[in-house]
Structure 1
Amino acid sequence: MSKLLIGVIGAVAGLLIAFIFIYQAAPELMMVEDESKYSFDETVEVFEEEVREAGWSIAGSHDMQEILEGHGHDVISIKIFELCSSKYSAEILKLDDERIVSPLMPCRISIYEKSDGNTYVTRMNSTLMARPFGGVINEVMQKAAEETEEIIEKIIK
């Protein structure tokens, strides 16, 4: 077998292993989950207060436990919040080419209980998700992610 063929086989095998690793790790890389130091209700209360103090808005919230209960399903407490910072949103939405990321807006944060009785805070890993876009989108999403993490830092362990 020639050295070239062995090199090609090695490269293909390496790429396959890398793909499998990335595929397996992707969900954990894309989402960030932290345990809250408070109960569910306290977490929601402190979170909403911290959002306001940071100058952000809650553009919407969804009590998924209540919504699903109305459809005959029983789930543990979960609320999804849509956060908006007008200064960051405007930087992206005023530009035609950058509007492509509008489905990622507003920023979503979930607060929920698990069967272990603890409360958790989850959000998209915006710093990682923004990088491939580059330019204005990356710059703005990095700043927004930093501020969002400062808000969340007050409620996690």
Structure 2
Amino acid sequence: MQQKAMIFITGLVTGILLSFLVIFLTVPKMLFTVSESNYNFTETIERIEQSVQENNWSMPHQYNLQATLSKHGFEVKPVRVFSICKPDLAARLLTGDADRQLSAMMPCRIAIFEKSDGKTYITRINAGLLSKLLGAHAKAVMGEAGEGSEEILAPLID
């Protein structure tokens, strides 16, 4: 009987450890979506700005991380971060207290960067995956925001 208990406990601990290992190795890669742009860095920026307007979103802020870091003595390849917003979606999350904590992730962010291979990439949070971890109301709104971000980027990626 004692041997069966040890086998059970060993199997349980091994299963838990393997589960944590799988989560640790896969989840970080799933949290962000990275796509290669069909355009160079400058044209990608221009096309995103245009697509944001065409999809009736706003872009309250734009961050040039390369320029910011350069001011502090660091040289990095070009990186731009766009804060994009769909006010009606934001209002749906912020009007009640239940989902206000999500304001830490608002507005939606899209980053454009170059890698050493000379190609331009677009990255964003995987809102669809993240929304599955939230309550029903936040899940619906975050799902819509994720779909909207993907529509904005669709003309730029394959």
TM over 0.5: yes
Look up the equivalent residue of 2:84 and give its one-letter code. L
Equivalent residue, structure 2, for 1:31? 32
Instruction: Name the residue aligned to 1:10.
Output: 11
Q: How many correspondences in the alignment?
A: 157
Q: Which residue of 2 aligns with 1:57?
A: 58
Question: Once the two structures are aligned, what percentage of the paired residues are identical?
Answer: 38
Structure 2 partner of 1:20: 21
Runs (4+) of structure 1 moved beyond 2 Å?
1-5
How far residue 104 of structure 1 moved from its aligned partner, in angstroms, is 0.5
Return the TM-score normalized by structure 1.
0.96
Residue 42 of structure 2 aligns with which residue? 41
Instruction: Report deviation, 1:4.
Output: 3.5
Alpha-carbon distance, 1:132 to partner = 1.4
Q: Look up the match of 2:140.
A: 139
User: What SS does the corresponding residue of 1:154 show, helix, strand or coil?
Assistant: helix
Task: Report what 1:68 is aligned to.
Answer: 69
TM-superposition CA deviations, 1:32-73 (whole Å, max 9, x none)? 100000000000000110010000000101001111111111
CA–CA distance in structure 2, aligned partners of residues 36 and 47 of structure 1: 11
Letter aligned with residue 52 of structure 2: V
Report the alpha carbon displacement of residue 155 of structure 1 after superposing the two structures with TM. Answer: 0.6
What is the alpha-carbon distance in structure 1 between the residues aligned to residue 103 and residue 118 of structure 2?
Answer: 35
Q: Distance in 2 between matches of 1:34 and 1:12?
A: 38
Normalised to the residue count of structure 2, the TM-score between the two structures is 0.95
Q: Secondary structure, in 3 states, of the residue corresponding to 1:97? A: coil
Deviation at 1:144, TM superposition (A): 0.9
Q: Where do 5+ consecutive residues of structure 2 fail to align?
A: none
1:87 aligns with 2:88: yes
Deviation readout 1:66-123 (Å, 9 max, x if unpaired) = 1111111111111000010011000000011110111010001000111100000000
1:130 Cα deviation after fit: 1.6
Q: Distance in 2 between matches of 1:8 and 1:71?
A: 54
